[in-house]
Amino acid sequence: MKKLEFERKIKHNPRPVVVDLWAPWCSPCRAMAPAFKEVSQKYAGKVDVIKINADESPTVLKSLNVMSIPTVIGFSGGNEVLRRSGLQTSGMLDIFFEATLNGEKPAVLPPAPATRIIRTILGVALLLVGWLRFDSILLMVLGGLVVFSGYYDRCPIMRALLPRLRNLFRRQKQAEG
C-alpha cells in the first residue's frame, strides 16, 4: 500500500479504523493473528480493519514512525487514538477496538504481558537486594512500587483515581493555553 492511498483511507473513512502492521516472518504477529481476527469479527461493521504487510509497505511504516511489529494503531475521524506495539492479548485488543470505536483513549490502559513480567522480576529483585544485602527500606519500597507498576490497572483505587487525575491535568493545560 502506498502512503497516499493509506492516508486517504484513514481520513475519508466513515467508521473508525484499526491498522494492523505485521509481517509473515514475525512470530509475535502470527501468535496474535487468531486473537486479532476474533476481536475484529466482533467489531465488524463498527470498526474497519486495515492489515498492512510491513515488508510491502515500508513508506507507510516510516510515515507512522513505526519501529517494531506487530503494531496496532487506532484511528477515529482521521486522528490517531491509540497505539500499541508487540504481542497483544485478546483482552487488550478488545480494549483497543472499544477505545477506537469511542474515539477516546481509555483512562487505564493495561501494560503488555511482557512488561508485567519484566516489572515483576525487576521489582522482586529490588525487594530481595534491599532486604538481604543492604537492609534498605528505600530499596524495598522502590521494589514494591516497580511490581505495582506492572499491575496498577487491576487496582480499584487506581481505576478510580487515574481518570480524575487526567481530567485535572487537562483542565490545567486548558487554563495555561
Sheet of 71-76, strands arranged across: 48-53, 17-22, 71-76, 79-85
Grid cell locating 53: 504487510
pLDDT of residue 177: 66
pLDDT bracket for residue 164 (50, 70, 90) = confident
Band of pLDDT at residue 152, cut at 50, 70 and 90: confident
Q: Does the pTM of the predicted model rise above 0.95? A: no
Taking the domains of the chain in order of start, what are their residue ranges? Answer: 3-102, 113-176
| Residue range 33-42, pLDDT digits in tens | 999 999 999 9
Of residues 140 and 134, more confidently modeled: 140
pLDDT band at 141 (very low <50, low <70, confident <90, very high): very high
Show Cβ contacts of residue 149 under 8 Å, excluding neighbours closer than 6 positions: 111, 119, 123
Per-residue pLDDT averaged across 151-173, rounded? 79
Q: Give the residue-averaged pLDDT of 119-138.
A: 90
Average pLDDT over residues 31-55: 93
DSSP 69: S
CATH architecture for residues 3-102: 3-Layer(aba) Sandwich (3.40)
Half-sphere exposure of 126 (CA within 13 A, CB side): 18
What average pLDDT does the chain have?
Answer: 88
Which residues are annotated as catalytic?
26, 29
Answer yes or no: is pLDDT of 135 > 90. Answer: no
Distance CA 24, CA 12 (A): 28
How confident is the model at residue 172, as a pLDDT?
78
